[in-house]
Amino acid sequence: MSILSGKKILLGVTAGIAAYKTAHLVRLFIKSGAEVKVVMTPASVDFVTPLTLSTLSQNPVYTSFYDKGEEETEEWNSHVDLGLWADYMIIAPATANTLSKMANGVCDNLLLAVYLSAKCKVFFAPAMDLDMYKHPTTKKSIEKLQSYGNIFIPPSTGFLASGLEGEGRMEEPENIVSFIENDIVTKLPLYNKKVLITAGPTYEAIDPVRFIGNHSSGKMGFELAKSAANLGATVYLISGPSNEKITHSLVYRYNVVSAEEMYQEVHKHYQSVDIAILSAAVADYKPKEISATKIKKSSDCMTIEMVQTKDILASLGKQKENQFLVGFALETNNEIENATIKLQKKNLDLIVLNSLQDKGAGFKNETNKVTIIDKFEKISEFSLKSKAEVAEDIFKEILNRIYV
């Protein structure tokens, strides 16, 4: 999954030969998981058809302030609504004519009206002939636009439509997408940070067939991983057996089964991370002996001697240097008291408390209701929310403490 997944992208297309590349650019944005709408200048339709871009974007393409209906009725295309809709606006290709108009506030078509109304970050990718690109007025337009906060995607060097060779080619669609993704990621609060997250249950073998486990689905941990990645972090997700799936360029998943395997994998990464969140439901006990063969039913009762597993969270608390360490507590009674004791005993910075007394919280639910306690015993209570929203709340609490 790309950092652009779920984002709303408004693509502005102007009248340059490089407009033919916008079909591929739209396809790449869609492939990244973004929603795309396209606004074209009236002259750009001579270079690429609205039908092509509408089909690829799966949205109507806007070329004028109003559309005529079948019975000569007119439907207004609101430049204000389009400007408010977008998370990011990209103008590609951006001709010398459009750059000059953008820089000087000229508003003589829908695309320029949308640009002047946009509340989001705006990227622009110039495309023109070599001499036009080097002209002082073009350079001045680019400088002006950058001074307004717009993001310049430099053109590449190569063969131009005129037959000349030099600077002025619109950057290739793959590079435009990469440029935008990189610009977004590098400005996120957890960029260059590493986050370790554990998720799911552990299974402790009794024999080759049977195991002792719990009902954890891993969903909370996976949502935490998504949230961390969307904040720009490189994420090491260590998961016990889980049906949850995640595809994100910043998430590295490591699958384990037992508490011992999770202990070993966590300790491989812990020293290199900035934040560790242990949301996995790790078994506290495991069978002392594992039968090499399937245990046959021989009587009404069977006794299994159990021994404690290694306490992963406590071991991390003892080794903690500069890491921000977060644990989870699932309680059924004396919730705040028990969670606070765990917080202090294991040297945590935050603990996230789940109570099985709360309807809709705990294992296998799509929702969760948490209380967060920090090392100063400040308590923050949250209402019942989706686990994705809970993950966002947890990271807000973490960010509020690591960037004070």
Instruction: Detail the residues annotated as belonging to a binding site for CTP.
Output: 284, 294, 328, 342, 346
CB distance 214 to 242 below 8 Å? no
- CA gap 32, 122 in Å, rounded: 19
Active site residue 214: yes
CB distance 61 to 42 below 8 Å? no
Bridge partners for 287 per DSSP: 306
Which string of DSSP letters, residue by residue, matches 227-287?
HHHHTT-EEEEEE-S-------TTEEEEE--SHHHHHHHHHHHGGG-SEEEE--B--SEEE
| Residue 362 phi, psi dihedral angles, 5° rounding | 90, -160
**From the candidates 59, 97, 214, 365, which is the catalytic residue?**
214
**Binding site listing:** 284, 294, 328, 342, 346
Beta strands 151-152 and 367-368: pairing type?
A: unpaired
Encoded tokens for 47: 């270079």
Number of H helices, E strands in the chain: 13, 24
What is the Cβ-side half-sphere exposure of residue 129, based on CA atoms within 13 angstroms? 6
3-state secondary structure (DSSP) of residue 148:
coil
In what helix (H) or strand (E) does residue 137 lie, and over which residues does it extend?
helix 136-147
The single-letter DSSP state of residue 172 is P
Q: Is the dihedral of CA 212, 216, 217, 221 positive or negative?
A: negative
> Is 287 exposed, middle or buried, given 0-12, 13-18 or 19+ CB atoms closer than 10 A?
middle
Centroid of chain to Cα 329: 26
CB distance 227 to 391 below 8 Å? yes
Catalytic machinery residues: 214
